[in-house]
Structure formats: structure tokens, C-alpha cells
Amino acid sequence: MTTGSNLVDGQWVPSASGATFRSVDPAHPTEVLGVFPDSTAQDVAAAVDALEKAAPEWAATPPERRARILERAADALEARADQLITELIREEGKSRAEATTEVSRTPMNLRFYAAEALRSGGSTYPAAGQTMVYTVREPVGIVGAITPWNFPLNIPSRKLGPALAAGNVVLFKPSEVTPLMGQRLVEALLAGGLPPTAIALVQGGGGAGAAVAADDRVTAVTFTGSTDVGAAIHAGVGPQRRVQLEMGGKNPTVVLGDADLDFAATTIVKGAFGLSGQACTGTSRVVVVDEIHDALVKAVVAKASALRLGPGIDDGATMGPLASAAQLAKYREYVSIGVAEGALRHDVDIPVPESDGYFAAPVVFTDTTPDMRIVREEIFGPVLAFQRARDVDDALRIANDTRFGMSAAVITADLGRAMAFAAASKTGLVKVNQPTTGMAMNAPFGGYKASSTQTFKEQAGSSMMQFYQAEKTIYLTPAG
């Protein structure tokens, strides 16, 4: 069992109150994995006091050195990869293949942002006479990073990496479901040579997160999590501070009449039930034209029945448990809601381990109507709602009929229709003949509508550096 700590002013410390919380293995919830500080506003204030003092020195650290530190942190993660895979499986519940992917992507993110430390400069502009007009990009100050449990290494690395590369100090509040992964990422940064005062780690739940967002000295708040919490954070951050929110989705995969059914079903099952349905880009709706509706439902249910539900630590398992008791309760609630709303429930017939683990078999609903909650609300579990469309135009209208705008996919061999869909989709991500899940680390990533803030929405690629840098314009003219 791990006894975790906060990192405040370069020291590993308990919470000021001494209070703690526990992390458990979602495949065996009676097994306590770790005990971590349950932090309050007092811990957050102490962390911000120390970060304020440390900020000038880190901002003045040459970009080559900042880059080198991030590269060495990536090396440190890779050196510990086997341990991290096991710990990630046990803390969050991923399958081994899913955990291996996340652990290999995280150092790649740090390397990508190491290069941005050297690349993200200002510009010069044409100007009259001897005047030179140019911009410099400066760190914004103290970045508060509040993150979810579903990618507990990968998502924070896409916040801490660019924040530190740009010369900001960071206050990091990981999810209370995956505190160890948060601590491991900070340990890797320190192993890479990051001055321990340039980062603070504050463990705890929503109260600690709210305190991070509420502190006016935290000049930029970057958050990934649920839409309701994001909205509360946004409402509390005034006009003088930056805020970036990545939130929920209700992502459709649209299947057109010419689609290969086997390929479509494989793609849908991967998008809907990968990560046990717990991805912000996960497929939660299938919009399919009438003529292939019934055959596609059959193919998806058959394909999903090849999944093997079990603890990720067992190599045979392709689908792990849900991450928490709250996740399991939410899944069960929405399955009941779907039945009560009159949708037709199709169970995927796979063995569910007989244990107290948070295991949830995939459920498919058909005969839905557009106003049903299972069609409109993010469930964040392995529950998939089918929606019938008359034709291509109807399918596009149904796909866009949601307050969310994270990701959408279309399955078709017709290039013209695929391109028309990409142009008309009201989502930040469009996938053609791919699952709604999955993203390139070097391309922009962020949702439309209620899925993101529409300022600073990018969460990957070079353009996200803009959130972490303030641009100043300088007019330089010789005297006289």
C-alpha cells in the first residue's frame, strides 16, 4: 500500500489537517491501494504562496533547460513503464492493452512540449520607418491543472508539459480516484530535474479543486472533467484570469447504407466499449439509415460478445471494470432509465466476473426517441443508443441534435458524402471510417458547443501553447 503526500514548497507533506482518503482497486474494491492527503483550501493557499515565490526563477530558466528537463522526465517515465502499467491497471481499471498505450503516450507528450519550449516564439510585423513591431510570448504565471481519472497520466501530461515548457509554475490537483498516477507524474518531473518548488501537488476531491479555481493568484485554470463541474469553475473565474475547460460528449457514429457491416460493427464496438465506455470521445450513439439498421444492431451485439470482461491485470481481459462505485451506480441508473423510457434493451451476453468489482457488461438500446435521456445525456459507461435515420441528411441532422460537440464519426466508402459530413458536423473532431475515440498528439483537439470552452479550446498540438503564454507587443524606435 502506498502512503502518498502533497508536494508544497518543494517538500512532500501531509495535508494541514492530517485528513486522508483512500484509493481502491476497482476490480477488487475491498483492496485499499493507497492513502493520500485530503486537502483543503488551507493546503491550496500554502501551495500558491510558495509557487508565487518560485515563479520568477522558473520563468527565467532558459528554454533549452526547460526542454531538457521535460525530456528527462519522459525518460524517467519510460524507465518505470512496467511498474506504471501495473499501477494504472490497478488504480483506474484499464485493460493491459489500454494501460500500455497510455503509459507509452505520456512521455511522448512531454517530449512534444519539450520541443515547444524552443519553438513557441513571437512574431515581427511590417512597420513604418525604423520602428520595429514584434511580439514576445511570456509565461502567464501560476497554472492550476484539475484533471479527471479516465486518463490520469496522459491528460495531466498534456497540461503540465506545455505549462512548464512555457515557463509557468504549476499547481496540480489530480482526480481523487487516481491519486497515485498524479504523484507518479510529479515524481518523473522531479527525476527529470524540475526544481521541486516549480510544481505543487495537492491531492483531494472537489473541495480541493474548487479552492484551486477560486484562488485569484492562479492566473490560468485548465480543467478536464464533467460539464457541470466545468460550468461551476467557469462561473467563478473572473475576466482577468484564463480558463480552459474540456468536458463531456454524446458522440455519434453515423453509418451510411453503403458501409461494410462487419467493419462498421468493429469500429463502433471499439469506440463505444473501449475503456469500458469511459472516454470523453466514446461512441454513445449510433445513427444508422433504416435499410441496414437491424443488421447493424445484430452485428454490433455479436461483435461485443467477443469482449472479455475482467480485471485488467489478467491478460485475457479486454474490458476492465468501471473506475469507481459512482461510475457503476451511474451505469445501472441509466440502464434502468432507458428501460423506463421505453427503449428496447439488448444485453451483450458475456460473463460478468462474480466479484464485488465494478464490472459492467455492454448494453445496447434500440427503438429510442430523440428526447430520451439515454440519447441526450452523457452516461460515461458501456451503454449505446441506436437512432434510426431516413437518409444521409436526416442522419446528419440527428448527429448534430445534441448540446455536446466533442467527436463524431461516419462510416462510408463514399468520399463525397464523408467530406460533406465532415463539413457539416458540429464537433471539434470528425473521424471518417475510424472510431470516435483516439486522437493525434500533434494535432488540435477540443470540442464544440458544451464540450469545451470556446476560447482556448485546444488540448493538444502546438496551438494549445497559446493558453499557457501571454503575448506582448513591443514597438521599438531609435531615440530622436
Active site residues: 246
- Binding test (CB under 6 A) with ligand NAD, winner from 26, 248, 320, 435: 248
What gap in Å lies between CA 119 and CA 113, rounded to an integer? 9
Judged by beta carbon, residue 71 or residue 102, the one nearer ligand NAD is 102
| Residue 206 makes contact with ligand NAD by CB under 6 A | yes
| Residue 458 makes contact with ligand NAD by CB under 6 A | no
What gap in Å lies between CA 94 and CA 88, rounded to an integer? 7
Residue pair 449/404 in contact (Cβ under 8 Å)? The answer is: yes
Judged by beta carbon, residue 91 or residue 176, the one nearer ligand NAD is 176
Among positions 78-97, residues that touch ligand NAD (CB under 6 A) are none
| Residue 232 makes contact with ligand NAD by CB under 6 A | yes
- Binding test (CB under 6 A) with ligand NAD, winner from 76, 114, 213, 317: 213
| Residue 222 makes contact with ligand NAD by CB under 6 A | no
Judged by beta carbon, residue 39 or residue 366, the one nearer ligand NAD is 39
C-beta of 400: minimal distance to ligand NAD in Å? 18
| Residue 229 makes contact with ligand NAD by CB under 6 A | yes
Judged by beta carbon, residue 71 or residue 458, the one nearer ligand NAD is 458
What gap in Å lies between CA 139 and CA 141, rounded to an integer? 6
Provide the grid cell at 425.
458536423
| Residue 38 makes contact with ligand NAD by CB under 6 A | no
Calculate the CA dihedral of residues 83, 89, 94, 99 and round it to 10 degrees. 0
| Residue 2 makes contact with ligand NAD by CB under 6 A | no
- Binding test (CB under 6 A) with ligand NAD, winner from 6, 224, 244, 267: 224
Helix (H, G, I), strand (E, B) or coil at 1: coil
Among positions 117-176, residues that touch ligand NAD (CB under 6 A) are 146-150, 173, 175-176
* Stretch in the footprint of ligand NAD (CB under 6 A) among 18-26, 116-124, 218-226, 291-299: 218-226
- Binding test (CB under 6 A) with ligand NAD, winner from 33, 220, 233, 361: 233
Instruction: Name all contacts of 438-445 with Cβ < 8 Å and 24+ positions apart.
Output: 438/281, 439/281, 441/105, 441/108, 441/109, 441/112, 441/158, 442/112
How many positions of this chain bind ligand NAD (CB under 6 A)? 30
- Binding test (CB under 6 A) with ligand NAD, winner from 107, 152, 162, 225: 225
What gap in Å lies between CA 389 and CA 288, rounded to an integer? 6
b/e burial code for range 273-287 (CB count within 10 A of at least 16 → b): bbbbbbbbbbbbbbb
C-beta of 333: minimal distance to ligand NAD in Å? 15
Provide the grid cell at 364.
445496447
Q: Which residue is nearest to ligand NAD (CB)?
A: 209
Residue pair 411/267 in contact (Cβ under 8 Å)? The answer is: yes
| Residue 380 makes contact with ligand NAD by CB under 6 A | yes
- Report the greatest alpha carbon distance in the chain: 84
* Stretch in the footprint of ligand NAD (CB under 6 A) among 122-130, 156-164, 220-228, 385-393: 220-228
Residues 6 or more apart whose CB falls under 8 angstroms from that of 98 comprise 274, 275, 312, 320
* Stretch in the footprint of ligand NAD (CB under 6 A) among 224-232, 353-361, 408-416, 465-473: 224-232
Helix (H, G, I), strand (E, B) or coil at 223: strand
Among positions 278-317, residues that touch ligand NAD (CB under 6 A) are 280
Partners of residue 384 on adjacent β-strands: 364
- Distances in whole angstroms, Cα of residue 81 to Cα of each of 75, 77, 330: 10, 6, 32
Provide the grid cell at 9.
514548497
Partners of residue 135 on adjacent β-strands: 473
C-beta of 44: minimal distance to ligand NAD in Å? 11
| Residue 443 makes contact with ligand NAD by CB under 6 A | no
In 238-382 the beta strands, taken as DSSP E runs, fall at 242-246, 251-255, 283-289, 344-347, 363-366
| Interacting residue ranges for ligand NAD, rule: CB under 6 A | 146-150, 173, 175-176, 205-206, 209-210, 213, 224-226, 229, 232-233, 246-249, 280, 378, 380, 406, 447, 451, 459
